[in-house]
Amino acid sequence: MADIILHHYDASPFSEKVRLMLGIKGLAWRSVIQPVIMPKPDLIPLTGGYRRIPVMQIGADVYCDSQVILAELERRYPNPPVVRGADWAVNLWADRLWFQASVAVIFAEMGDAVPKDFIADREKLSGRPFDVNAMKAAAPFMRAQWRAYAAWLEDGLAAGDFLGGATPSLSDVAAWMNIWWAGGAVPKVSEGLLAGFDRTAAWRDRLRAIGHGRRSEMTPGEAVQVAINSAPSDDCPGDPNDPSGLTAGDPVVVQADDYGRDPVEGVLVAATRNRVTLARECGELDVVHVHFPRAGYVLARR
Ligand SMILES: N[C@@H](CCC(=O)N[C@@H](CS)C(=O)NCC(=O)O)C(=O)O
């Protein structure tokens, strides 16, 4: 099987979910470090416009968003099993509600030290002002939200070493992102918000000990060459009951429904219950298949 290539950067919390999943599965993977802000000249040709991180690439298949990345890793490498129960719903909560609380808590603390070009980039990404004073004003409320979310984790760990029982599950991976990010970026604040949460502290040590699998570096240019020299894999059939009414071959556009809404255009390969796949012909790259989650993304005819 072709190499797993993860386009990421070390400080990226959403990438940390994928790195932990690679650790749980014990996989070897290639690490491609992408820029923290635009431009991303060796990423955009692969995705067709999607700029967020992480992106996973396997040959000429490109997976945008940690949700579809984690699902594809589970599909290709089912052992040990990681996804169970209502894990995907927990994942979206940790990605959205908890992550937004983390953003406010972290940038209220360190926002004044953030470089201007980063702020300008993130304002463009979100379409809203990156207002550190507003984050500071909201911080007391957001810290309370953050601790309430962490308390669910603490309570969820009463029955076992991990949220899904005796072995790590996707819920652990999803929750880990927020604990990992706050712990690294604002350690004192995080310590206060987790005060008394002893099970969470022990769980954090257990997850940290899992590591990231076997990582080796690759340059962004090499990754583009891999896509040029590969053909996309076969995809599963579309959902015949899909409410969009779209069928394979239709010209479509996909975009995120939260932030980083850059539209990606292509030809529909398949729309399943939880994934949409587009074929894109892109100069030298010939055909790549770009995969997005359904939950959290808008799919429309062009
Ligand atoms: N829903 C996306 C969110 C990804 C996301 O927000 N990533 C951050 C980095 S952790 C990002 O792309 N920031 C802008 C950038 O890096 O250019 C996912 O699950 O992958």
Q: Please report the atom of ligand 1 found closest to the CA of residue 54.
A: 20
Whole-number pLDDT of residue 234: 82
Q: What is the CA radius of gyration of the chain?
A: 19
Whole-number pLDDT of residue 283: 73
Nearest CA to ligand 1 atom 12: 52
Whole-number pLDDT of residue 256: 98
Topology, domain 5-80+216-301: Glutaredoxin (3.40.30)
* Residue 255 to residue 3: CA distance in whole angstroms: 27
What's 238's DSSP letter?
A: P
**pLDDT tens for the chain, residues 1 to 302:** 799 999 999 999 999 999 999 999 999 999 999 999 999 999 999 999 999 999 999 999 999 999 999 999 999 999 999 999 999 999 999 999 999 999 999 999 999 999 999 999 999 999 999 999 999 999 999 999 999 999 999 999 999 999 999 999 999 999 999 999 999 999 999 999 999 999 999 999 999 999 999 999 999 999 999 999 999 998 778 999 999 999 999 999 999 999 999 999 999 999 999 999 999 987 777 899 999 999 999 999 99
Domain ranges of the chain: 5-80+216-301, 87-210
Which of helix, strand or coil describes residue 77?
A: coil
Closest Cα to residue 286, out of 219, 227, 233, 220? 227
Q: Specify the CATH number of the domain 87-210.
A: 1.20.1050.10
> CB neighbours of 263 closer than 8 A, spacing ≥ 6?
49, 253, 254, 255
0.85 surpassed by pTM: yes
Q: How far is the CA of 95 from the centre of ligand 1 (A)?
A: 10
* Residue 70 to residue 21: CA distance in whole angstroms: 7
Whole-number pLDDT of residue 281: 83
* Residue 53 to residue 272: CA distance in whole angstroms: 23
* Residue 55 to residue 62: CA distance in whole angstroms: 7
Ligand 1 site, CB within 6 A: 12-14, 36, 51-54, 65-67, 95, 125
CB of 18 closer than 8 Å to CB of 4: no
Top mutation candidate among 51, 53, 291, 294 for ligand 1, by most atoms within 8 Å of CB:
53
Closest Cα to residue 302, out of 257, 263, 260, 253? 253
